[in-house]
Amino acid sequence: MIRGMLAQLNKDWLEFRRDRLSVALAFFLPICSLFLFSYGIRLESKHIPTEIVDNDGTPLSRDFARRIYATAAFVPASAQQFDGDAKDALLTGRARAVINIPCGFEAGINMNRTTQVLFTIDGTALTEAHTAKMIAENFGTVFSMLVKPPDPRLFYLLPKITVWFNPGLQEALFIVSGAFGVILWMFPSLLAAVSMSRDLEHGEIIQPFCANLDPAAFLLGKVGVYLAAGIVQSIIIMSIGCALFGFHLVDSPVILICCTIVYLTAAVLFGILLGVLTRNQTAAVQATSSGGFFSSLLLSGFVYPLNNIPFPFSLLSYVVPARYYIDVTRDAFMRGSEWAMVSRNFVPLLAFAVLLFAWCWWLLKDMRMKD
């Protein structure tokens, strides 16, 4: 069995090495993806183009406008004074928020009367709209405190907020550590899926089976090559990620290394499984992109929070291995990890690897010609 496995490993290695462009892309693509994910994905919106309709035109209303722009969340959409229609500005996309300061703004404040400022936000840019809404809701209170110092006879609360694990609240740390999980699922599974489906499409699968190669040996040989490629990919992207964003392992690397190997094995087996099921290179890649790329990008907690997913769709995220591995990388690079905590991610990853191996073995076993 070991000889058979080594022969298969050697065959797949030669095949992989021979296609120079594929080898180059296999290592270049993850690096490009890392750059793209790390620099391109941000949820926090800044510089929302805004028009302010100042119907009051007093020093206080101008102060309100100045302070709104000082938040850095809003920037003037145009240099001129805006006196057009809010809906028109939003429809044409010239502005994504319009703030309407009413006539009598300053007078109302001086007379201690409630003064309402209307924020109209473009809801078609969703994350921006959420950020603008939250800042707008807070801004009235903040401005009130600035123009009218709190009455010392009244009670007020002072929350002392401390942020753990990421004190600077850098979104890049969250995104980059998550990007490792997405990239290391996508590319090893893609390479394995293309290799397996090509063996089946070209009928090359007959050769190992004619040589009486055990399906387990065949699988282990194939996994070996693409696991090695995945390990090299993981070393490259983690080194680049750490160098670019200046973060490092919080704890010993043992947990991360163990989880990475199990995760990569599961990714390669996932690719092999799709290759066996589709038996066609195009279909295999299509299935990898639908089942692997989209799910690991969007249903793993990489960008959007998982606890917002409604039941029963929330169950889907439990069968996305990237969900568990991203937790491991965020533990390793941000929170720190212990085996007791990691087991809740390690055990599912191991279960995925074993299950996928058993499924592939079962399908390949049935392909063998009977004696």
Partner 1 sequence: MNKAINDWAICALILKELRLTLRNHHLVFLLIFPPIVQVIILGYCLDPQVRNVRIAIADLSCTPESRALVRTFTDNRELFVPHLVFPDARQVASELVSESADAVVVIPSTFSGKLERFHVGEFQVLLNGVDAFTAKVARGYFQLIAAHAFPGRHTGIVETLVRVAFNPGLLSAWYFVPGVLGAAITLSGTLVSSASMLRERESGTLEQLLVLPVTSAELLVAKMVPLFGLLFADVCIAIMLTSYLFSLPNRGSMVLYLFFSAVYILVTISLGSLMATVCSSQRQSQLLSFFINIPLILLSGSVVPLESMPEALRVLSLADPLRYYQIVARDILLKGLGPHELGDEMLCLLGFCVGLLSICIVRIRHQLS
> Which residue in the set 12, 37, 219, 265 belongs to the binding site for partner 1 (CB under 8 A)?
37
Q: How far is the CB of 16 from partner 1 (least distance, A)?
A: 10
Q: How far is the CB of 167 from partner 1 (least distance, A)?
A: 6
> Which residue in the set 216, 240, 261, 303 belongs to the binding site for partner 1 (CB under 8 A)?
303
> Which residue in the set 185, 223, 330, 356 belongs to the binding site for partner 1 (CB under 8 A)?
330
> Which residue in the set 5, 9, 48, 328 belongs to the binding site for partner 1 (CB under 8 A)?
48
- 199-228 burial: b if 16+ Cβ within 10 Å, else e: bbbeeebeebeeeebbbbbbbbbbbbbbbb
Pick the closest to residue 116 from 134, 101, 98, 132 (CA basis).
101
Q: How far is the CB of 363 from partner 1 (least distance, A)?
A: 16
Q: How far is the CB of 109 from partner 1 (least distance, A)?
A: 6
Q: How far is the CB of 359 from partner 1 (least distance, A)?
A: 19
Of the pair 261, 309, the CB lying nearest partner 1 is at 309
Q: With CB under 8 A, what is the number of residues at the site for partner 1?
A: 121
Mask 184-203, x = binds partner 1 (CB under 8 A)? --xx--x---x---x-----
Q: How far is the CB of 263 from partner 1 (least distance, A)?
A: 19
Site for partner 1 in 242-301 (CB under 8 A): 278-283, 285-287, 289-290, 293-294, 297-299
End-to-end CA distance of the chain: 18
Q: How far is the CB of 210 from partner 1 (least distance, A)?
A: 24
Of the pair 3, 20, the CB lying nearest partner 1 is at 20
Joined together, the tokens standing for residue 147 give: 């123009």
The span from the CA of 325 to the CA of 126, in Å, is 28
Burial class (CB in 10 A: 0-12, 13-18, 19+), 21: exposed
Q: Under DSSP, is residue 15 helix (H, G, I), strand (E, B) or coil?
A: helix
Q: How far is the CB of 158 from partner 1 (least distance, A)?
A: 5
Site for partner 1 in 60-89 (CB under 8 A): 64, 86-87
Of the pair 29, 258, the CB lying nearest partner 1 is at 29
Of the pair 33, 58, the CB lying nearest partner 1 is at 33
Of the pair 334, 354, the CB lying nearest partner 1 is at 334
Mask 101-140, x = binds partner 1 (CB under 8 A)? --------x--xxxxxxxxxxxxxxxxxxxx-xxxxxxxx
Is 238 one of the binding residues for partner 1 (CB under 8 A)? no
Of the pair 44, 204, the CB lying nearest partner 1 is at 44
Using alpha carbons, list the distances in angstroms from residue 18 to 12, 23, 312: 10, 8, 46
Q: How far is the CB of 371 from partner 1 (least distance, A)?
A: 31
Joined together, the tokens standing for residue 53 give: 């309709």
Using alpha carbons, list the distances in angstroms from residue 115 to 22, 48, 129, 144, 146: 64, 24, 23, 10, 15
Site for partner 1 in 146-175 (CB under 8 A): 147-148, 150-167, 169-171, 173-174
Of the pair 80, 112, the CB lying nearest partner 1 is at 112
Using alpha carbons, list the distances in angstroms from residue 69 to 49, 51, 54, 72, 273: 10, 11, 14, 6, 54
Pick the closest to residue 184 from 67, 95, 264 (CA basis).
264
The H or E element containing residue 328 is helix 321-330
User: Any idea which residue has 């973060």 for tokens?
Assistant: 247
Of the pair 297, 322, the CB lying nearest partner 1 is at 297
DSSP string covering 47-74, please?
-EEEEEEESS-SHHHHHHHHHHHHTSSE
